[in-house]
Copies of this chain bind each other. A is one copy, B any other.
């Protein structure tokens, strides 16, 4: 399916402030960028680089005053993400080199503290995809999805002590559990067509059966078009914007995702 997705950020900047942005989705597996737009108002010079995870990042200094960033994309996405019950566990010694950093604990995914808990969650499940499914079920059963409640990013340990979390933090818990049983897992931030209420979304991917598969503790199934904007170890790596210096208020953020017909332009 074709999707039109957009994100608007509006700030009032008290003093010129450096920003790091991650708002340009790339063509990749199951997504092809047909059209893309990135508007800075006022127009300021910006440079782009590729971070260690392959994300396109934009650097700029926002001038004092009102400042907005408006990005949009027309993208072809799959109708549903692939699933593969039964896909096998890949022994660590056979994992591709580039998946190994996703086995390590990270800022919000303290996988080193989840070995015991995960063992009991996945007990009796076939190693691999089915273990990941058990982890997702566990999260869905124990943590209440509370979109809009998550100003402060919290880690897997903190999620685990709470009954409420947003998508991003539920993903942290899923990632930490996967890594605890030697399954590489990574964070994805992006758009999900069917999300209610509409917002940016976060989920995770786990490497089983020889490739990355999508898991989303907030959704009953994997229906709906997804657009990955950025990949990383956890929320620390995939902030759609980071600003440095004195904190700047985000006045307004608007996200939309709509189906569209195949573009002819």
A70 at the interface (CB under 8 A from B): yes
Q: How many copies does the complex hold?
A: 4
Interface residues of A in 6-28 (CB under 8 A from B): 18, 20, 26-28
Contacts of A141 in B (CB 8 A): none
A51 at the interface (CB under 8 A from B): yes
**CB of A213, distance to nearest CB on chain B (Å):** 17
Interface residues of A in 173-215 (CB under 8 A from B): 182
The segment from A89-97, A142-150, A159-167, A223-231 that touches chain B is A89-97
Contacts of A110 in B (CB 8 A): 107
Q: A37-B265, A39-B265, A106-B236 are in contact. Are A18 and B52 (CB under 8 A)?
A: no
Contacts of A29 in B (CB 8 A): 47
Q: Mark A238-265, 1 if CB is under 8 A from B, else 0.
A: 0000101100000000000000001111
Q: List 17 A-B contacts (CB under 8 A).
A: A20-B92, A27-B46, A27-B47, A27-B48, A29-B47, A33-B36, A35-B38, A39-B264, A50-B54, A51-B100, A52-B101, A59-B93, A61-B93, A104-B237, A112-B153, A112-B236, A182-B245
